Amino acid sequence: MKTLRSLLPLLLLLVAALPALGWTDPYKGYDETAFMEMDLEENLLNPAVAEKEHAAVSRRMRHIGTELARHGFVVDMMREDEVVLVTIPTDKLFLPNDTVLMADATKTLDPILKLLNEADQFKIVYAVHTDNTGSERYNMELSHARNGAIYDHMLSRVHRDLVIIPYEMGDTDPVESNDTRLGRAENRRLEIYLIPGPKMITDAHKGVLK
């Protein structure tokens, strides 16, 4: 009996720790420098969401996707509804061959950027694409310059500690044929990926994700 009494505090600690078994801290390894070294596909997989947190995270992300669709955005869900992809024609952001955001670009981007006012709630990955008009080098330079304009605008509008990973794709990843005017317009696009950040995953684990 005395031995059981002496073991009771340890048993209570073990019981209290049971919900945390199998929990991987999503803040561990959450480093912008490391993400910058990853390719696009790798970044879309990190940070991972465990099975226990999946339902709450996917529910939250579906709600966000629905709200953005109501604002007129083209929205796709990825990674079993854990990642929201928003596609915006760059014709809505830049004049032809220009690299300065149009005045109306702020109005276009604001519904997305307003979501990003809390550190670690999301990780943001975005990719700037062009059509194949002009040389490969020109298109990559155009993509690079537009990337810089978008990045600077985002930094001025979102939480200062938000992780933002940009990609300049040029004409390397068309979604339509560049042989038609409509196809080229579809290929000139900005893709913004809203990925669950460590705070969202942690909130889901604690059962407090709104």
CA distance 94 to 103: 9
Residues 139-190 have pLDDT tens digits of 999 999 999 999 999 999 999 999 999 999 999 999 999 999 999 999 999 9
Buried b (16+ CB within 10 A) or exposed e, 48-59: ebeeebbebbbe
Q: State if pTM tops 0.95.
A: no
DSSP label of 91: G
DSSP label of 197: -
- The CATH code of the domain that includes 108 is 3.30.1330.60
146 in a domain, yes or no?
A: yes
Return the C-alpha torsion angle 105, 109, 27, 209, nearest 10: 170
117 in a domain, yes or no?
A: yes
**Cβ neighbours, 10 Å, residue 66:** 12
Residue 96 pLDDT > 60? yes
What total number of domains does the chain contain? 1
Range of the domain at 86: 26-206
Residues 63-89 have pLDDT tens digits of 999 999 999 999 999 999 999 999 999
Confidence of residue 14 (pLDDT cuts 50, 70, 90): very low
What three-state secondary structure class fits 83? strand
6 in a domain, yes or no?
A: no
21 in a domain, yes or no?
A: no
3 in a domain, yes or no?
A: no
CA distance 201 to 118: 14
Confidence of residue 13 (pLDDT cuts 50, 70, 90): very low
DSSP label of 126: E
